[in-house]
Amino acid sequence: MFKRIFESTLFRSSGIYTISSVLNNAIPFLMIPILTRYLSPVDYGIVAMFQVLFSFISPFVGLNAYGAIHQKYYNRETVDFPKYIGNGLLILIVSTCIVSGMVWLFAGPISTLSAFPANWLWSVIIFSVGYFLNLTVLLLWVGQKKPILFGVLQVVQTLINLSISIWLVVSLSMGWQGRILGQVIAVGGLGILSLFIMWKQWRFKLEFDRNYLRHILNFGVPLVPYYLGLTVMMLVDRFFITNMIGLAETGIYMLGYQFGQIIVLLYESFNKAYVPWLYERLKMKNEAMNLKIVKLTYLIFFGILIMASLLCFIVPLVFHLVVGKEFMGASVYVLWITFGYAFNSMYKVVANNIFYTEKTQVVAWITIITGVFHVGLNYSLINLLGAIGAAQACLLSFFICFIITWVWSNKLHPMPWFFFLNKKK
């Protein structure tokens, strides 16, 4: 069975996704030595807060309609799919107007809390809209099994982003403004291209349809707290370290965090090929196929843990070649964060089953509950152990989230997870 799987389009596609993901994420790594010579720590802080604000605002821009469009692609024969896409874009237009109004009204408090310049908040909204449009096209290509187009768009976006950023930061000495403009121009520009691609390929119709809007909102709105919960889980550690220890330690921690996230970046590449494969087979409602899915899932779990172990072995060997002396302390965080994201990857494997059932509110509640737990755990462990406590909280929280999600995925879509016990009987 496994031989057939490895020879299938699933693994060929995931290989292409992995290569494009490695290229896409390797380029920013290679640019670190250049940007660190032209951006001050304050500049880096402002750029970091740009990403934080994007993480908080983006779930409200479009209300995750791209996820509903992606999911509906697999049952597109049941709807007028061009009109369905068009209704997703109508949600994007309306939600963007509302978010823009709210940001304008509360620009002062937002700027004060985030230390991000109020007159640059527009950049976060444009970036969020471009991100939505790009992701919609990328997810449609995933459904169509076009990994090469997917990879080309991702890598081109990254190259444009970094080329413009380096030109603005290095040649024009624009500091943090240049880095943010590089991101906004790349993502916003390709967002326009993505809109054109959707029009050429799908001829989307901007025609109001109450049923389609309701279906998209029922899918996407419950995911807003889910993504906000994920944002809290990703960012609360930095907030606590900054306020309880100091900004310098936050910078060191962030570097270790960046290396620890490699595992989930690799898994995401595989997941893009795995989701279409999984959904097609779950539709069969076949016990024999469900057993094959379970066996493959266990194989994926094993592969994730092996890869995490290898990364924890390799990263310390090359750390001194990549990182400056003042950041060598970041290596202590890599193991905890790597295995934390290994469990996060395993969580995503079983969460796919819940997304298939369209019970996205369950995932949202799990994320909220574990997010609250994560906040308390971070505060307690950092207070007790220092910054290493944040990395340990990452591992524990993601592990608990994985277990709870696995249990609920089986409740909503029962699978033969304990088939090996039945064999023994």
What string of H, E and C letters represents the secondary structure of 339-360?
HHHHHHHHHHHHHHHHHHHCCH
Token pair recorded at residue 106: 């509360």
Predicted structure pTM score: 0.73
- Tens-digit pLDDT profile for residues 198-247: 999 988 999 989 999 999 999 888 888 878 777 777 778 877 877 788 76
- Give me the pLDDT at residue 6, please: 44
In the block, tokens 């993505």 appear at 194
Q: Identify whether residues 329 and 270 lie together within a single domain.
A: yes
Q: Identify whether residues 61 and 148 lie together within a single domain.
A: yes
Task: Answer whether residue 52 shows pLDDT above 70.
Answer: yes
- Rounded distance between C-alpha atoms, residue 100 and residue 94, angstroms: 10
Closest CA relative to residue 258, chosen from 36, 26, 33: 26
Q: Identify whether residues 340 and 291 lie together within a single domain.
A: yes
Q: Is 283 part of any domain?
A: yes
Q: Identify whether residues 246 and 306 lie together within a single domain.
A: yes
- Mean pLDDT on 162-176: 92
Token pair recorded at residue 126: 């444009």
Q: Identify whether residues 182 and 282 lie together within a single domain.
A: no
Q: Which of 5-14, 125-134, 216-225 has the lowest average pLDDT?
A: 5-14
Contact at 8 Å (CB) between 179 and 168? yes
Task: Answer whether residue 140 shows pLDDT above 50.
Answer: yes
Q: How many CB atoms within 10 Å of residue 407?
A: 12
- The highest-confidence range among 118-127, 160-169, 366-375, by mean pLDDT, is 118-127
pLDDT confidence bin for 48, thresholds 50/70/90: confident
Q: Is 10 part of any domain?
A: no
Q: Is the dihedral of CA 28, 31, 33, 36 positive or negative?
A: negative
Region class of 255: left (phi > 0), else alpha (psi between -120 and 50), else beta:
alpha
Q: Look up the domain containing 359 and give its range.
A: 224-419
Q: Identify whether residues 213 and 229 lie together within a single domain.
A: no
**Domain edge (last residue) among 179, 201, 221:** 221
- Give me the pLDDT at residue 4, please: 52
- Mean pLDDT on 322-327: 68
| HSE, side-chain direction, 13 A CA sphere, residue 172 | 15
Q: Which residues, at least 6 apart from 37, have a Cβ–Cβ distance to it below 8 Å? A: none
Task: Answer whether residue 273 shows pLDDT above 80.
Answer: no
Q: Is 6 part of any domain?
A: no
Token pair recorded at residue 130: 């471009």
Contact at 8 Å (CB) between 368 and 229? yes
Q: Is 412 part of any domain?
A: yes
Task: Answer whether residue 378 shows pLDDT above 50.
Answer: yes
CA-to-CA dists, residue 378 to 49, 246, 317, 382, angstroms:
20, 15, 29, 6
Task: Answer whether residue 11 shows pLDDT above 60.
Answer: no
**Domain edge (last residue) among 192, 221, 250:** 221
pLDDT confidence bin for 7, thresholds 50/70/90: very low
Q: Which of 3-17, 30-44, 269-283, 364-378 has the lowest average pLDDT?
A: 3-17
The pLDDT > 70 percentage for the chain reads 89
- Rounded distance between C-alpha atoms, residue 333 and residue 259, angstroms: 9
- Mean pLDDT on 23-34: 69
Q: Identify whether residues 207 and 303 lie together within a single domain.
A: no
Q: Is 198 part of any domain?
A: yes
Q: Identify whether residues 254 and 398 lie together within a single domain.
A: yes
Q: Is the dihedral of CA 159, 24, 123, 178 positive or negative?
A: negative
Q: Which of 198-207, 247-256, 357-366 has the lowest average pLDDT?
A: 247-256
Q: Identify whether residues 265 and 144 lie together within a single domain.
A: no
Task: Answer whether residue 387 shows pLDDT above 60.
Answer: yes
Task: Answer whether residue 288 shows pLDDT above 80.
Answer: yes
Task: Answer whether residue 3 shows pLDDT above 60.
Answer: no
Q: What's 185's DSSP letter?
A: H
- Give me the pLDDT at residue 319, please: 77
Q: Identify whether residues 145 and 242 lie together within a single domain.
A: no
Q: 205 or 116: whose pLDDT is higher? A: 205
- Mean pLDDT on 270-286: 81
Q: Identify whether residues 107 and 211 lie together within a single domain.
A: yes
Question: What is the number of structural domains in the chain?
Answer: 2
- The highest-confidence range among 20-34, 37-51, 303-317, by mean pLDDT, is 303-317
pLDDT confidence bin for 21, thresholds 50/70/90: low
Q: Is 168 part of any domain?
A: yes
Q: Is 125 part of any domain?
A: yes
- Tens-digit pLDDT profile for residues 300-316: 999 999 999 999 999 88
Q: Is 5 part of any domain?
A: no
Q: How many CB atoms within 10 Å of residue 57?
A: 20
- Rounded distance between C-alpha atoms, residue 91 and residue 255, angstroms: 37
Task: Answer whether residue 18 shows pLDDT above 70.
Answer: no
Closest CA relative to residue 28, chosen from 322, 374, 327: 322
Q: Identify whether residues 205 and 87 lie together within a single domain.
A: yes
Q: 54 or 42: whose pLDDT is higher? A: 54
- Give me the pLDDT at residue 144, please: 86
Please, what is the Cα angle at 402 between 399 and 406, to 5 degrees? 145
- The highest-confidence range among 39-43, 78-82, 101-105, 255-259, by mean pLDDT, is 101-105
Average pLDDT, the chain: 85
**Domain edge (last residue) among 201, 221, 241:** 221
